[in-house]
Structure formats: C-alpha cells, structure tokens
Amino acid sequence: MNHSVDTSPPHLIRQRIRSGDFSDVTSGVAPGYVQCNLVIVPADCAADFMSFCQRNPKPCPLLAMSPEPGDPTLPDLGVDIDVRTDAPLYRRWENGCATATPTNLMDAWQDDHVAFALGCSFSFEEALLAAGIEIRNITEGVNVPMYRTDIPCQPAGAFAGNMVVSMRPMIPKDAIRAIQICSRFPSVHGAPIHFGAPEAIGISNLDTPDFGARVTVHPEEVPVFWACGVTPQMALEQAKLPLAFTHYPGYMLITDTRNAELAVL
C-alpha cells in the first residue's frame, strides 16, 4: 500500500499504527488533519517544559498535554489517542542523548509521564500547497532541511538551547504569500522567523542541514526559515533528563483535529 495516498480517517490510521500495520513517515497521511510533535517528560519537570513552550511559542506551539501524569490519552485531540502507541516511531532520550528508536512505549511508559503535543509544519505546508505554492522538500520527496541556529530560546528550568528552523526556498512573491498564509496558523509555528541570509541566524551552509535533507535552491529564490518542532529535542539535549521520549522526526502523532480548525483568521 502506498502510504502517501492513504486518505483513511485519522482514527483508522491510528489503529493501523497501533497494531504495527503502519510504520512509515506520516507526511501526506490523513490529509486535512493535524499531526503533532510529541514530547514526554516526568511530572517533576512538566511544569518547566510547559513554561518552555509558553516562552517559546513559535518553535513549541503547545496544542495539548496529558490530562494528568500517567494518563496516556489526549482527549483534546482525539477520543482514542494513546500516546504510547500512536506514533509510528519514537526516540528514547537518556541524559540528553538519543539512545533508542522504539516503535511503541508500552513497556517504557511510567505513572509519572506527561505528554505534550506540539504543532507541526505539515499543517501549514498543506495550506501553502492549497494556495499553489511549491514546497521544495515535497517536490523532491525528502524530509525538510532543518538547521540549528544561533537564536537562543528563552530558558525554563533545565530546558534551554537554540532554536532549530526548517527551510523552504521560494521566490519573494511566494514568500510574501506564505507569510500571509502562515500568519493565520500561529499554533503550527506561524509566520517565518527569517528569510534570506542564512548567516544572519547562525547557519553557515544551506547544503549541509543538521537534520533532514538538502533541497535545491534556485538563483531567483530566497531561503525562508520557520521555527521548527525539533527545537524541544535540542532542549532535551540540554536538560539531560535521566529519561524522556519524543516521536521520531517525521513519524508524527495523527489527530482528529482538522488543520482548518487551527486558522485564527
């Protein structure tokens, strides 16, 4: 089955993911529905992580969190969501290092775990495509290129670090339209944070992204940079928690919320 055209409703996709029948990246899956970044930390630093999101809303737009510690559901985003099983792939973090890539967290989940679901660029990419704007990483069939910047996040407790950005090249006219469209979606990173000179935000070479893959940038285009949901993973590196989990980049949690519901205008 071709995952990229799987247009089943979200709860059916989640059932397939939960049963191990779907284990691929979720780009293009369940079109129209919000996909989320996941961050799971112990309850004793949940308030700090929530504060980190609140202070850094562009890279860390918080859509929902566990109703209480140990509860693996996210009722605000879907009636049957189980954060232990519903992302196709996870990352285990120990003392700030990614140490494993489990396909579920059934054994690892703890009574004191709190899950955070953050907005994801898939939502605004869909809005841009609908407006006829080309998304180069989609055209070229690769993960979006992502870069560490020298833009510091506002720290909260042990959580700190620099912002990670994703980059999509566009002609200026499309970039202006993209700024307008993305401004309608603050909960999925909102408007770009920069365009043009990469070195102005501490990026030395566009051809060597820190995450994801290189994409072509044509001479008439400018790189346009959005705050990226990988940023909290940098904060986990800094926080060096004994144990934490995230989704694996690109393998997102698919929700029942429609992208269109997130538009503020």
Site residues for its own copies per CB under 8 A: 172-173, 175-176, 179-180, 183, 191-197, 200, 220, 222, 265
Nearer to its own copies, 31 or 172 (CB): 172
Nearer to its own copies, 19 or 173 (CB): 173
Cβ distance 92 to 40 under 8 Å? no
Shortest Å distance, C-beta 258 to its own copies: 22
Shortest Å distance, C-beta 133 to its own copies: 15
CA distance linking residue 23 with residue 13, whole number of Å: 10
Nearer to its own copies, 30 or 193 (CB): 193
The packing angle between helices 121-130 and 172-183, to 10°, is 120
Shortest Å distance, C-beta 173 to its own copies: 7
Pairing of strands 222-227, 62-65: unpaired
Nearer to its own copies, 221 or 237 (CB): 221
Among left, alpha and beta (phi > 0; psi -120 to 50; other), residue 235 is alpha
Q: What residues contact residue 237 under an 8 Å CB cut-off, 6+ apart?
A: 96, 97, 161
Shortest Å distance, C-beta 196 to its own copies: 5
